[in-house]
Structure 1
């Protein structure tokens, strides 16, 4: 088998809210989003990418500074990528999520999450190449960490069976 025709084995990984992942091997990363936001950052030179999944826009309180907050999650992912050998000039990002339903909450935390993602990426000079944000529908995304390809599924209602691993019947 030549290097060009060599088959790549990928792993499946479900990223829960409040976590960041930068896999060392090709991985299909699944994320289910409502008002949460996921940012996929890809190094187009090294063909590696990672994902953050945060619930809240930001915090300035060091005691709360976890990856549940966008400002912390994104800086953590960027730092992980730079420490693994990426150069900032080779990074690009995609933003997903940030839905809001007025009937469930008057506060539009989804929009606040999207604004935080854009702000942190701009401050770090990482270009946003695509986004699918806002609206009232939840999303499930599947990100290929080695190719930067993403599938986005929009859903009126996210069921427990939409979450990986798929343990319940799906109809």
Structure 2
């Protein structure tokens, strides 16, 4: 679901559908654990409560969950999906801004992006297998 984070040390298969939202699949190949976030907007403005709705918050929360489960920051790997502009010229280019947020925050945390499928005009359905890091991608009908 949008504005959510999934993490469990047990193997799982996690699915989500993305338009302009972005999902980051974070995986530790050493411990074979992983999780996924799904955020709607790039940066928390400082108003209201910091939530998983915002990319900067959602990414840091997901990283924290893996670190608390025993991962080291040096072993984390990320795959980034979404950020489509499905409805023509959106005034704020939310999808592109969401993608830039992912790149900026992951870079600042020294987490390499090892898989990347973003932008364009079509939505995506992704299925992430947390213990292998594998992601299956399906494009949805679009413009």
2:97 is the counterpart of 1:86 = no
2:44 is the counterpart of 1:59 = yes
Instruction: Identify which range, 22-31 or 89-98, moves more after superposition.
Output: 22-31
2:10 is the counterpart of 1:21 = no
Q: How does 1:39-54 map to 2 (within 5 A)?
A: 39-54=24-39
Alignment-derived partner of residue 97 in structure 1: 82
Following superposition, the deviation at residue 62 of structure 1 comes to 5.2
Give the 3-state SS of the residue equivalent to 1:32 in structure 2.
Answer: strand
Which string of whole-angstrom CA distances, capped at 9 and with x for unpartnered residues, describes residues 32-67 of structure 1? 000000000100110101001000001131523100
Following superposition, the deviation at residue 105 of structure 1 comes to 2.6
Greater gyration radius: 1
Q: Which runs of 5+ in 1 are unaligned?
A: 1-15, 158-171
Which string of whole-angstrom CA distances, capped at 9 and with x for unpartnered residues, describes residues 98-119 of structure 1? 0003536332100000000011
Q: How far apart are the structure 1 equivalents of 2:36 and 2:83?
A: 15
Give the 3-state SS of the residue equivalent to 1:143 in structure 2.
Answer: strand
Alignment-derived partner of residue 38 in structure 1: 23
Q: Which runs of 5+ in 2 are unaligned?
A: none
Following superposition, the deviation at residue 156 of structure 1 comes to 1.8
